[in-house]
Amino acid sequence: MDFRWFQRLDPTPRLILFSVFLGLIGGFGAQLFLWLIHMGEVLILTPLSGYRFLTVATASHSLKPPGFHFYWGIPLATTAGGLLAGFLVYTFAPDAEGDGTDAVVKSFHEHAGVIRPRVTFIKTLASAITIGSGGSAGREGPTSAISAGVGSTVARVFRLSESERRYIVLMGVAAGLSAIFKSPLGMAIFAVEVLYARMAFEGDALLYALISSAVAYGITGAIEGWSPLFILPKTTFSNPLDLVWFGILGILAGGVGAILPNVFYGIRELFHRLPVPNHVKPAIGGLVVGLIGSVLPGILGGGYGYMQLGLQGALGWSLGFLLLLMIGKIVTLSFTIGSGGSGGVFAPTLFVGIFLGAAVSAFLHFVGVRDVSETAFAVVGMAAVFAGAARVPIAALILATELTGGYRLIVPIMLAVALSFFVQFALSRRTRYPTLYEAQVASPIESPVHRRLYYETVVDLLQRHELHLEGDLVSSQLVEQLSGDQGIALGKTGDRLYRLRVAAGAPVAGQEIRALGLQDLVIMSVIRSDHSLIPNGGTVLQVGDELIVCATPQALQDFTPRLAAQAAPLKNPAEPPGTEPV
C-alpha cells in the first residue's frame, strides 16, 4: 500500500490522524490487557490460593468489610508469577522491567520517542502475569506502554521526525491511561505534565493528547459503561472550617509522597546488589509480597476493590488497620517492581492516598470530630498523595474528580494538592529519589530535547554575530553545563561548548588569539568584567577572561593547560551519551 500521501501531509493533520489511531489502540489495548490479567488470575492466583480479586462492582454493594481469612497459597502464586515474569523479562527484554509510564518518559527525553516493539510485547505479557498472579502493581503503566509502543513503531515505519515521535508516545500514554481510569481530561494533562518534576508542561502536545484520550475513553465507555471508575455516595463540601483538616491532610500527604519514592527505589537498590541471578529476583520479591498478602490480601494486584471500600467510608475499619493497608501497599509495591517485576505505580499510589485520607478521617472521629466525611477525606487523600509523589498536581486534581465524580470536593482537593506538592518538594529536595518517576527532569531546560535546541540556537546566533552574551542573559543552567567537564554537545559533530577561565600567570594571557595557533577549537565569546566581546584574531586575552569555546574533547585537553598558571592533569571530557533506544 502506498503511504506517500500520509508523509506529504503537514505535521498537524498527520498528528491528528495518529492521535485518533492511538486512541483506538489505547482503548482496545486496555481491554486486551485486562483480559490477560484475568487469565493470570484464573490460571495462577485462584488455583494456587483460592483467592479472587475484589472488584469495584462487588465492593460497591458491600455493607461490611471482608472478614479475615488466611490464604496460605498466595505466596505460591506470587512466587510463581514472579518467576515467570522474571524469565520473560530478563531473557528477552531486560528493559521491560519496572513501570511502563516511566519508560515512556525516558523515551521522550533520551531516546527520541523510540520504544522497541519487543519491549512493548514482553512488558505486556510480564505485567499481566505479575498482576494476575497477585503482584502488587497497577495495570495503567503497561496499558500506556502498549499504545505508546505501537505508536512509536508505526511512526518509525512512516519515518516521522523526532519531534513527532515524541508527541506520539505522549498521545499513547494519554490513551492507555484514559482507557483504564475513565479520566480523559486528567490523563491527557498527566501525559504532558509527568515529564517534568516542577510546574511545567509539554503544552504543544496537549491537544493531540486530548484527542487520543477522548477516543480511548469512548471505546471503554461503549464496552464498560459511562459511570466513573469508582462509585461513591453523594458527598459535598459545605463547612469552610473543614479546610483546616483538609489542609492537614495535604501536609501529611506531602510527607508520604516524599517517603514513597525513596522506599520504592531504596528496595530496588537492595535487589540490584543482591548476589543472585536477575531472573529469580522477581520471584523473591513475589514471595515477600505473597507472605504479606496471605494475611492482608487487599494489597494484592491493583487493589481497586479495596480502594472502592476505602472511598465509600472504609466500612468501620479501625485506624490501625487503615494505616496497615497504606504501609503494606508501599512495601509490597516496592518489592513487586523493585525486584524486577513489571507493572504500574499509578494505581498503588492512589491506594496509598485513599487509605491515608481514610486514616485521617478515622483519627478525627476518634478525637471527637464527628461531622467529617470519610469519603471526602479518602478522595482528597488520593489526589494529594499522587500530586506530591508524582509531582503532577494539576493532573491529580482533575483525575480525582473524574475517577469519583466528586466535583463538589474540588475546593478541598485544590488546597490539599497544592500543599502536598509544596511539602513534598521541600522534603525531597535533598533526597536521592525526589519523585516517583525517575525519568522526570526538573524543567524543560533540563531535558536533553529542549537543551540541545536551545544551545544550538544560541551557538547559531553567536556565529552570525546576532547575539552578544550579556552577563544576565546566560542562565544558571547554561553556566552550569558550560562549566562542567562534559560541556554541551552540538548535534552529532563531536564538537562541544565549554566555559573556561584565564588564570593569573596563564601562558595565553596578554596574547592575541591569532597567535595561539588553535586547531579544532574556536573562541566564540570572551566575557570580561560585566560585558561580553565577540572576539577576532586581534583580541588580546586578559587574566580573568571567561571564554566560551567550541572544541573537540581532544582540542580542549590540549588547550586547557595554557589557561592555568601551572599545568595540571585534566580529566578527558566525556563523550556525548549514547542514544540507544528503549
- Using pLDDT thresholds of 50, 70 and 90, give the confidence band for residue 582: very low
Mark whether 339 and 482 lie in a shared domain.
Answer: no
- pLDDT value, residue 380: 96
**Last residue within a domain, chosen from 373, 407, 428:** 428
Of the listed ranges 401-410, 493-502, 551-560, the least confidently predicted one is 493-502
Residue 237 backbone phi and psi in degrees, to 5: -115, 120
Helix (H) / strand (E) containing 251: helix 242-273
Residue 296's CATH number: 1.10.3080.10
pLDDT tens per residue, range 167-195: 999 999 999 999 999 999 999 999 999 99
Mark whether 354 and 473 lie in a shared domain.
Answer: no
- pLDDT value, residue 569: 44
Q: How far apart are CA 89 and CA 142, in angstroms?
A: 13
Cβ atoms of residues 519 and 555 within 8 Å: yes
Mark whether 342 and 404 lie in a shared domain.
Answer: yes
- 575 in a structural domain: no
Name the more confident of 361 and 162. Answer: 361
Mark whether 407 and 488 lie in a shared domain.
Answer: no
Q: How many CB atoms lie within 10 A of CB 490?
A: 16
Please give the mean pLDDT across all residues of the chain.
86
Mark whether 385 and 490 lie in a shared domain.
Answer: no
Domain that holds residue 379: 4-428
- pLDDT value, residue 443: 86
- 456 in a structural domain: no
- pLDDT value, residue 324: 95
- 531 in a structural domain: yes
Cβ atoms of residues 335 and 351 within 8 Å: no
pLDDT tens per residue, range 426-435: 999 889 899 9
- pLDDT value, residue 109: 87
Residues 6+ positions from 311 with CB-CB distance below 8 Å? 230, 232, 354, 375, 378, 379, 382, 404
- Using pLDDT thresholds of 50, 70 and 90, give the confidence band for residue 488: confident
pLDDT tens per residue, range 494-503: 678 888 889 8
Name the more confident of 366 and 492. Answer: 366
- pLDDT value, residue 535: 83
Q: How far apart are CA 19 and CA 4, in angstroms?
A: 19
Name the more confident of 480 and 474. Answer: 480
With 90 as the cut, is the pLDDT of residue 561 above it?
Answer: no
What is the mean predicted confidence (pLDDT) over 397-424? 92
With 90 as the cut, is the pLDDT of residue 140 above it?
Answer: no
With 90 as the cut, is the pLDDT of residue 269 above it?
Answer: yes
What is the mean predicted confidence (pLDDT) over 57-69? 80
Mark whether 403 and 472 lie in a shared domain.
Answer: no
- Using pLDDT thresholds of 50, 70 and 90, give the confidence band for residue 338: very high
pLDDT tens per residue, range 358-385: 999 999 999 988 788 899 999 999 999 9
- pLDDT value, residue 24: 96
- pLDDT value, residue 472: 44
Q: What share of the chain is helix, strand, coil (3-state, %, to 5)?
A: 60, 5, 30
Name the more confident of 457 and 268. Answer: 268
- Using pLDDT thresholds of 50, 70 and 90, give the confidence band for residue 572: very low
Of the listed ranges 53-67, 228-242, 464-478, 561-575, the least confidently predicted one is 464-478
Q: How far apart are CA 342 and CA 345, in angstroms?
A: 10
Q: How far apart are CA 12 and CA 8, in angstroms?
A: 11
Mark whether 207 and 320 lie in a shared domain.
Answer: yes
- Using pLDDT thresholds of 50, 70 and 90, give the confidence band for residue 530: low
Of the listed ranges 64-68, 71-75, 139-143, 356-360, the least confidently predicted one is 64-68
- pLDDT value, residue 533: 77
Q: How many CB atoms lie within 10 A of CB 63?
A: 5
Q: How far apart are CA 445 and CA 479, in angstroms?
A: 12
- 42 in a structural domain: yes
Mark whether 420 and 477 lie in a shared domain.
Answer: no
- 455 in a structural domain: no
pLDDT tens per residue, range 39-60: 999 999 999 999 999 999 899 8
Name the more confident of 315 and 534. Answer: 534
- 458 in a structural domain: no
With 80 as the cut, is the pLDDT of residue 466 above it?
Answer: no
What is the mean predicted confidence (pLDDT) over 236-259? 92
Residue 505's CATH number: 3.30.70.1450
- Using pLDDT thresholds of 50, 70 and 90, give the confidence band for residue 537: confident
What is the mean predicted confidence (pLDDT) over 536-553? 86
Sheet strands (E) in 426-506: 488-489, 496-501
Q: How many CB atoms lie within 10 A of CB 481?
A: 21
Return the percentage of the chain with pLDDT > 70, whole number.
88
Mark whether 52 and 172 lie in a shared domain.
Answer: yes
- 389 in a structural domain: yes
Mark whether 546 and 400 lie in a shared domain.
Answer: no
Name the more confident of 540 and 481. Answer: 540
- 441 in a structural domain: no
With 50 as the cut, is the pLDDT of residue 340 above it?
Answer: yes
Of the listed ranges 58-67, 85-94, 216-225, 354-363, the least confidently predicted one is 58-67
With 60 as the cut, is the pLDDT of residue 253 above it?
Answer: yes
Q: How far apart are CA 395 and CA 413, in angstroms?
A: 12
Mark whether 404 and 511 lie in a shared domain.
Answer: no
Mark whether 485 and 352 lie in a shared domain.
Answer: no
Quote the number of domains for the chain: 2
Kindly list the distances between the CA atom of residue 77 and the CA atoms of 130, 237, 282, 316, 495, in Å, as whole numbers in the listed order: 10, 43, 12, 30, 54
